[in-house]
Amino acid sequence: MARLLLVEDNPDLAFGLRANLELEGHQVDLCDTGDQALPAVREQSPDLIVLDVMLPGRDGFEILADIRKAGFTTPVLMLTARGEEADKVFALRRGADDYVTKPFGLLELLARIEALLRRSQNGGKPGQQDFQFGSVRINPPTRQVWRAERLINLTPKEFDLLLALTGAPNQVLSRQLLLSQVWGHQSEVESRTVDTHMAELRRKLEQDPASPEYLLTARGAGYWLRIRV
């Protein structure tokens, strides 16, 4: 069981998230304003913080900056209705560990929370710690990726797609879910775009792109990142 701090001003969303997280066995403390967040972190020492961006008064980005400035390395997953790429980059560079765009699927959110908790328990703050599979190493804050210690040039969308897959390893993510998370429900974006970007990721990161070892297709369902444990 983990202790989570949920910072969310929408009472219906907060109630639903809290109820489902408690069903998963977690203890959940709730703040409905950003000003309550830092005192709650100091008092409750949560294992993970779920932080909404759009809060009354000071927004989630400011609250995140306060938490990091105070020296807390607690993993932070941010929730927002704003899906623009610049917002995601800004959140990650401010010290967020993950970023989920509303509307989101409950199962996806739970999987991302579990992934952050697992990585944190296995060795430090996930947002600062490199994520690795095979010879590929990813550093989320700097948005840099290496393969066999060689820096690989990814486009912003390729990196966001890779980050989405690392957020839920060994779990199939549908094309629609990836479109929502990476492209923010843009109507002009088609599912074929996901296929094209996955092909580029394989070309750049897999030893044999035609027979990938890590970036896999679940036929008729979507894509997944295989991590051997």
Pairwise CA distance, residues 11 & 19, whole Å: 12
DSSP letter (8 states) at residue 217: E
Whether this prediction's pTM lies above 0.95 is answered by no
Cα–Cα–Cα angle for 97, 186, 11, rounded to 5 degrees: 55
Rounded CA gap, 119 and 127, in Å? 10
In the chain the domains, ranked by start, together with CATH numbers, are: 3-121 (3.40.50.2300), 131-225 (1.10.10.10)
Quote the Cα angle for 104-40-22, to 5°: 45
- Rounded distance between C-alpha atoms, residue 203 and residue 209, angstroms: 5
Tens digit of each residue's pLDDT (9 = 90 or more) over 195-214:
999 999 999 999 999 999 99
**92 vs 50, residue with greater confidence:** 50
Rounded Cα distance between 32 and 12, Å, is: 11
Average pLDDT over every residue of 126-154 = 81
Average pLDDT for residues 5-22, to the nearest whole number? 92
Q: What is the pLDDT of residue 184?
A: 67
91 pLDDT higher than 90? no
User: For 174-194, what is the mean pLDDT?
Assistant: 74
Q: Say if residues 127 and 96 touch (Cβ distance below 8 Å).
A: yes
Instruction: Report pLDDT digits (tens) over 20-72.
Output: 999 989 999 999 998 999 999 999 889 999 999 988 888 899 999 888 888 88
Closest CA to 5 of 24, 23, 31: 31
